[in-house]
Every structure is written in C-alpha cells, then in structure tokens.
Amino acid sequence: MLWAAMTVNVSPTVMFLLISFGTILGIAGTDLVLPAIPAMPTALGGTAALAQMVLAAYAGGTLVGLLTFGELGARYSRRKLLVWSLGLFAVTSLLSAYAPTLEWLVILRFAQGAFGSGPAVFAPGFIHGLYPGDKAPSMFGRLGSIESLTPALAPIAGAYLM
C-alpha cells in the first residue's frame, strides 16, 4: 500500500534521465577511483596489491550483481529491485567513503559493485516500456552514447574529488 502511494507519474524523458544516471553510476564505479589507487596504501594502510583489489572486487561484485539481479528480475518487481539496488549502492558508497582500512574498502567495493549493477540489468526493459517500438532504438542509442562517455570522464571526476 505504501509503495502504491509513492508511485508518481513522470514524463518518459525524466525516467530516461534517471535510468541513464543509474547506469552511469554503475559504470563510473571502476573508473572514478582510478586516480586514488596509488594513494590508498598510505591513506588506509595495506599494500599496492591490496589497493588493486579495490578494482577487482568491484568488477567481481558487478559480475555477481548482474547474475543476481537478472534472476531476481524474473521473479520480483523490477521497479522495487531498482530502488533497492540504488539505495543499497548509496549506502555502500557512503560506507566506502569512511572505510577504516583497505581490507574493509575491498569488501565494501564488492558489495557496491553488486548493488550498482541493478540499473544495467533493468534499463533495457524500462526503456522498451517507456517508448513505442519505433522510438526505443534511438533511445538505446542515446543511452549507449551517454554510457560510452563515462569511462573517459569518470577518472577526471575522481581526480577532482581527490
């Protein structure tokens, strides 16, 4: 009942932007931290090899998340799963920012990768549902263009955040 009360009708453009932003978060998760990798052992303790595990853990978490959200999406509400995915991604992002050690950061980055993969799983279905058959392919092209810029711009944003 509460979920039905929270449902709001918004334009397809706003929904497309929200879906795009969600997929960008998942993609940027790897490249955003690249500038910080060399400084991590000094800041959090640990070795350079363990700092590299921050990237590998995120990629491994993404693998688990893609498979898990694909399976869950076949059984449960994709909208609710998307909201949970983004909410848990936000929580793990906040916890990662305050990780006390590099070991904790590796664990949190695995969870962050898993939760951040939800939008990538659900985006095609949402876009197909938002736009009629003849407009959906052009929107997929726009989403692909937006996503292709992310690996180039995320390290710049990461360096700025440092």
Answer whether residue 3 is part of any domain.
Answer: no
- Cβ contacts of residue 32 below 8 Å, gap of 6+? 154, 155, 157, 158, 161
Chain segment 114-137, per-residue pLDDT in tens: 999 999 999 988 888 888 878 888
Residues 66, 117: Cα–Cα separation, whole Å: 6
Q: How many domains does the chain have?
A: 1
CATH number of residue 115's parent domain: 1.20.1250.20
In contact, 18 and 4? CB cutoff 8 Å:
no
pLDDT(6) > 70 = no
- The more confident residue out of 7 and 54 is 54
Torsion of CA 67, 71, 74, 75, to 10 degrees: -150
Tokens of 142: 């726009």
What is the residue range of 127's domain?
13-161
Answer whether residue 123 is part of any domain.
Answer: yes
Tokens of 90: 């936000």
